[in-house]
Structures are given as structure tokens and as C-alpha cells.
């Protein structure tokens, strides 16, 4: 998934790159050491964690706050979730960069800014119930789970459903349920949802998702054709009526059908 290039942020990106270059080198050393099991619970591990926290803080500052997102609960969640644990090892050094990263099976973990924007737009609050379609790496689900205590997420690719479930368990996210299915039909057993986040581009908004949206609930979904520019749409259900608003052009991986 890609956000369209915006030249306004090139300077901030350059600053970010410069400031974090040294940390990326250090991180790579950490990754190298951990691959060969040289790092365990000793001091180098603490150094790695400090490097990662610094990368996350800079990611939030230069990629997210700089683009106008101020919602504290969203920023705190992105500062907390260890994004590098959600990408394949060979891409760990790119985890905090300002772009999507491959996660295998032709899929990508979304750019940090897009995760922040989608999370901000649905305005998830503690105690609310969230559904995500397109678990992928599990990162977006973890971000939602930092804000509320019940998150449901559906992934159509069996291997990704399994690996994201493992990652989320390893990181101690007990409040996320992962299901391997076609998310088109939502998750009736746990409906209605206060928030629905769809992270694959659909040609139309799946009617079951609209049905499963709670009164007063919000859904964010990229709508448009696969491999083309799509519209990120914010859908709200008020007094049983649906209101939709187009937010920005985006490029997401396609919403697949038929599990
Ligand atoms: N949210 C993910 C990234 C999404 S990539 C993250 O944080 O890493 C989009 C994901 O949607 C892919 O993993 C893809 O397999 C999945 N997907 C596509 N169509 C789907 C469908 N109909 N139901 C469930 N998942 C789907």
C-alpha cells in the first residue's frame, strides 16, 4: 500500500533520514547480533530497545505529527507498538521508514502515516469494539488494541493469519482475535462494531460491513480498482443513515474474494 508522493514532506523526510541514519546502523548491528543469538537479556538488548524507541519517537514526530495528526491516543499507540517485530527480519531496518514494507505473499504493512491517519479518522475510544479487515502483519490490529480492549481482525491468506496471530501472542496482545476468512462478510458473532478499519482496496463497500457497523460507528475503507489510485473513504452511520466522505487518494493492495 502506498500513499501518493507529496513533495511538501521531502524536507522533513531528509531531516528524519539524517537524524536516524546513525540509529539505523546501530539497529542493524542489533539485528545482526540477535540473528546469531548473541543478544539475549544482556545490556545490548537494552541498547536495541532504546534504539527502537528512538526510531519510533522520530517516526511519530517527523512523519505523523509533522503532517498534522495530534490525537494523543493515536500518537501514543504508534510510539508503543514495536513495528519492527511485524516485518520480516530482512526488512527490519526499514520498519520505521516513511513507506510501506513487504510482508510476503505480495502484501505490505501500510506506511506509518496511513496507519495513524486511519486510526485517527475512526476516532476509536477505550471500551469500543473494533473490527479490522486485512490483518496482514498484525500491526494495525496492535495499534487499535493499544487504544481499546476488544479488537477482531480477519485475514484471507492462511499463512499471514497464522504468522500475525503468533506475533501478536508473542507480544502479549491478549485482546485481539484473528480469524482466517474472507472479511467481506465481517464477523457476525461479535457485531456490531463501533469502528471498522479495512486495509485492502475494495471496488465497493461490502454491505455486510455496513450492516455490522454500530449506530454512531465509523468505518474507514479504501475504495477503488486494484492497482490504481483509490479513495480513502470515511463512512459514518447516524440514525440508521450512511454518510460518506472522501479523504485522500491512496494506493492499497486489492481486496481479495473467496476463501
Ligand atoms: N493491516 C495490515 C496490512 C494490510 S495489507 C498490517 O497492519 O500489516 C492488506 C491485507 O488484506 C493483506 O494481508 C491481504 O491478504 C488482506 N486481504 C485482502 N482481501 C481480504 C479479504 N477479503 N478478507 C480478509 N483479508 C483480506
Nearest CA to ligand 1 atom 13: 136
Nearest CA to ligand 1 atom 17: 134
Which ligand 1 atom sits closest to the C-alpha of 103?
Answer: 8
What are the tens digits of pLDDT across the range 35-62? Answer: 665 555 456 677 788 889 999 999 999 9
Tell me which of 40 and 95 has the higher pLDDT.
Answer: 95
Nearest CA to ligand 1 atom 14: 134
Using a 10 angstrom Cβ sphere, with 0-12 exposed, 13-18 middle and 19 or more buried, the burial of residue 44 is middle
pTM, 2 dp: 0.88
Check if 110 is active-site. Answer: yes
List Cα–Cα distances, 230 to 94, 95, 108, 115, 212, in angstroms.
25, 24, 16, 16, 23
Using a 10 angstrom Cβ sphere, with 0-12 exposed, 13-18 middle and 19 or more buried, the burial of residue 83 is buried
Q: Which of 34, 42, 93, 110 is catalytic?
A: 110
Can you tell me which residue has the cell 461490502?
206
User: Measuring CA to CA, which residue among 90, 154, 73, 143 is closest to residue 112?
Assistant: 143
Question: How far is residue 116's CA from residue 100's CA, in Å, rounded to a whole number?
Answer: 13
**8 A C-beta contact, residue 104 and residue 88:** yes
Q: How many residues does the chain have?
A: 259
What are the tens digits of pLDDT across the range 156-190? Answer: 999 999 999 999 999 999 999 999 999 999 999 99
Q: How many CB atoms lie within 10 A of CB 86?
A: 25
Question: How far is residue 70's CA from residue 54's CA, in Å, rounded to a whole number?
Answer: 19
Mean pLDDT for the stretch of residues 196-221 = 98
Q: Verify whether ligand 1 is closer than 6 Å to residue 178 (CB atom).
A: no
Q: Verify whether ligand 1 is closer than 6 Å to residue 187 (CB atom).
A: no
CA of 159 to the centre of ligand 1 (A): 12
Q: Verify whether ligand 1 is closer than 6 Å to residue 155 (CB atom).
A: yes
Question: How far is residue 100's CA from residue 54's CA, in Å, rounded to a whole number?
Answer: 20
CA of 138 to the centre of ligand 1 (A): 9
In three-state secondary structure terms, 130 is strand
Amino acid at each position: 500500500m502506498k500513499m501518493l508522493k507529496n513533495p511538501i514532506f521531502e524536507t522533513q523526510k531528509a531531516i528524519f533520514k539524517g537524524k536516524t541514519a546513525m540509529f539505523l546502523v546501530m539497529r542493524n548491528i542489533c539485528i545482526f547480533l540477535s540473528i546469531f543469538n548473541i543478544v539475549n537479556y544482556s545490556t545490548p538488548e537494552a541498547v536495541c530497545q532504546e534504539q527502537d524507541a528512538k526510531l519510533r519517537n522520530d517516526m511519530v514526530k517527523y512523519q505523523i505529527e509533522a503532517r498534522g495528526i495530534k490525537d494523543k491516543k493515536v500518537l501514543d499507540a504508534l510510539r508503543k507498538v514495536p513495528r519492527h517485530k511485524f516485518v520480516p527480519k530482512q526488512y527490519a531496518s526499514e520498519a520505521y521508514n516513511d513507506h510501506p514494507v513487504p510482508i510476503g505473499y505480495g502484501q505490505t504493512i501500510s506506511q506509518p502515516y496511513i496507519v495513524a491517519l486511519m486510526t485517527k479518522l475512526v476516532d476509536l475510544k477505550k471500551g469500543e469494539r473494533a473490527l479490522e479487515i486485512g490483518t496482514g502483519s498484525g500491526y494495525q490490529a496492535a495499534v487499535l488494541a493499544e487504544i481499546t480492549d476488544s479488537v477482531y481482525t480477519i485475514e484471507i491468506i492462511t499463512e499471514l493469519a497464522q504468522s500475525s496471530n503468533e506475533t501478536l501472542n508473542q507480544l502479549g496482545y491478549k485482546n485481539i482475535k484473528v480469524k482466517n476468512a474472507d472479511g467481506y462478510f465481517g464477523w457476525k458473532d461479535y457485531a456490531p462494531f463501533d469502528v471498522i478499519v479495512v486495509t485492502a482496496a475494495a471496488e465497493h463497500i461490502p454491505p455486510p460491513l455496513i450492516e455490522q457497523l454500530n449506530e454512531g460507528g465509523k468505518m474507514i475503507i479504501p475504495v477503488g480498482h486494484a492497482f490504481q489510485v483509490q479513495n480513502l473513504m470515511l463512512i459514518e452511520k447516524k440514525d440508521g443513515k450512511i454518510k460518506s466522505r472522501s479523504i485522500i487518494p491512496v494506493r492499497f493492495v486489492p481486496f481479495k474474494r473467496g476463501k
